[in-house]
Amino acid sequence: MSVLTISYDLHKEPSRQYVELEKALKAAGAWCHALESTWYVKTALQPRQMVAYLKPYLHAQDKIAVTPVALDRGWWTQGLSKEVLDWLREALTASAVA
């Protein structure tokens, strides 16, 4: 299992809702919605597989980037809530041990 960062820019239309995208992200594994358009998901999926998994919930003009979180390079944040930081510490520490 690894932690993936999923960031996106969604093509917002009045008729377009992304509730199903959020449900799919939550179903992909342990998750943390860290920023408005950024999620962390602990999953067995590789980045390419995650994009394919989420594609049915995206509009053709939406943009998405999925990258693995690499602890060996360190990580730093500013302004994230304690809840998000606690989730990241636990998920990233568990991923490093596994």
Q: What is the structure's pLDDT at 96?
A: 59
Q: What is the structure's pLDDT at 89?
A: 86
Question: Residues 6 or more apart from 51 whose CB is under 8 A from it?
Answer: 64, 66
Q: What is the pLDDT of residues 4-33, one digit of tens each?
A: 999 999 887 766 678 899 999 999 999 999
Residue 21, Cβ neighbours under 10 Å: how many?
Answer: 20
- Report yes or no: 44 and 29 within 8 Å, Cβ to Cβ: yes
4: nearest Cα among 43, 32, 52: 43
Q: What is the pLDDT of residues 25-35, one digit of tens each?
A: 999 999 999 99
For residue 95, pLDDT over 80 is answered with: no
Instruction: Determine the residue type at 68.
Output: P
- Report yes or no: 4 and 43 within 8 Å, Cβ to Cβ: yes
Q: In a 3-state reduction of DSSP, which class is residue 52?
A: helix
Q: What is the pLDDT of residues 32-88, one digit of tens each?
A: 999 999 999 999 999 999 999 999 999 888 999 999 987 666 778 889 999 999 998
What is the number of domains present in the chain?
A: 1
Q: Where in the sequence is the domain holding 88, given as residue range(s)?
A: 2-97
Residue 37 is part of a domain; what is its CATH number?
A: 3.30.70.240
Residue 71 CA to residue 15 CA, distance in Å, equals 40
Residue 70 CA to residue 64 CA, distance in Å, equals 19
Q: What is the structure's pLDDT at 52?
A: 97
